Structure 1
Amino acid sequence: MKAASFEHHEPTTVEEAVSLLESLDEPTILAGGQSLVPMLRFRLARPDTVIDINGIDSLEYLHEEDGYLRIGALARHADVEDTDVIADRYGSFADAAPLIADPQIRNQGTVVGSMAQADPKGDWGSVLIAHDGEVTARGPDGERTIPVDELFLLPYDTSLMDDELLTEARVPAPVEGEGSAYHKLKRKTGDYAMAGVAARLVLDDDGRIEDAGIGMTAVDITNARAADAEAHLEGERPSADLFEEAGELAAEASNPESDEHGDAGYKERMVDVLTQRALGDAAERAGAVKRRVPQ
């Protein structure tokens, strides 16, 4: 099946794209297109107008600047996978990137597009939650910053206005004593997560956990934060027992649904296990002594 006909626009600046969003009737944004194009092909989506932002060269970046890792709207999953600063400093990003779909999708799909898609099975939302990330949106009234916890409302629904364009995702650059990790369970290569957990820990000079972040994938109606587990970790020394307790709290905070891949109880158990594994890796990367975690 072929896509239904639509009007196609190719802006070359953010300002031009925002002007189109403001003036056109319910346009659809095309960046990586790895979700949109199959929907167009099978006519699950039939937009009258598509705004293709791939010609906006100013959105093609992935770098550290002003104390943040900044990810432009046209940075691809493969860019995250292949960038040295990611491998050196951002463990959760380095873990997540090669687990996304397959190489063809990673070469075209974008991190920010995934955030805009707001699929609760998407990996980047959980990673940004663990890192206290935020996104930047540009609209007719200017630019605004949205904390990632305020971005996701419902599956495939965000707090973006209809005339706003997501231009960037960013997380604070890691500090001394910080480590992060991402663990994901899926049936086979190319599948979305059955469950996933991103974890970030910051250790103080005494080896205690000064700050913690935990984001969960595919176990609620949106990517979700395990706030009680985070609070339980802070002020404590990393240990297998502590991480086991945090895993239990994360599982309690999850709200998975039973489906053909497993029942809700199984997925809750996987949240527990994945949380312990992610915390163990994050602690090791932060400089803590390696601890036993579930295998």
Structure 2
Amino acid sequence: MFGLIHRVVVSRRALRRIVVEAVEDFAAENVKYLELRSTPRDLPRDGASRVDYVDEVVAALEECRARRELDIEVQLLLSINRNQPLQLAEETVDMALERKNKRNCPFIVGIDLSGNSERPESEFFRFQHVLERARAGGLKLAVHFAEHFDDDESDRILDFRPDRLGHACCLPEPLYAKMLALRIPVEICLTSNVHTLARYRDAGDCSCSPEQKHEASGLCECGFTSHPHGKLLANKCGQEQHGVYPMCVCTDDYGVLDTTLSTEYLRAARAFALSEARLLDIARAPLDSIFDRSQVPRLQALFSS
């Protein structure tokens, strides 16, 4: 699917349209603060470079900010694809630091490390010094984490202590407990994770009837009820004395996964019997881990109104 998207998004015009429509979609769901992430790449139809790509995304966000009817604050994370050469990772951090610290770009707040971590030369340690440089320059760090079982890799990332962890759905109990003890914020992408975890499930694990399957995705109800973050979402993970664990329900790539943020909340509520009060706590929880801290008072006021 991502290869198909790359074959379609080959011009600045197409890129800008996608960014603007993504912001419009989230604004329509009453999202008030959004962090988009995008991996810079060349746009062959226009002869645009990776630098041009970033400038076009920023221009699209400026366009959206000027539209008051959208009523949403959007920030940007530049993504590093761990399957690409290390030089591109260095260049991505350079672009982010230059725009944030020299051009005073109001949108770029962090770096995201993503990509297929099972491919050769995708190990976290290869990118660690690049991420450390980004951190030293004032950028926040989000790392896609534990999307397959690799205890050594997961332990190394936990020791690095990114500002947020994405997914964290393939962890043995000791490492899950370590993550909770460190209280590193987690981005929970239920539908995406159920797809990821399907490889570890046998056909005999499912006793769902056809009507219990989600029509849009074909995913079974039991895939959600057995999600490893179920206890965390339901506040039954031994963290109660510390308040709501820092987490955020997210969509991942909502077009690819055929989901919305509202759908993700609905699936969480159904799978774990969450009350309205608990859903409100979960919706408020990201305030502890958003990367633009200047937005916290505004968002707190919205929850209090």
| TM-score, normalising length: structure 1 | 0.27
Greater fraction strand: 1
- TM-score normalised per structure 2: 0.26
For CA contacts below 8 A with separation 6 or more, give which structure has more relative contact order: 1
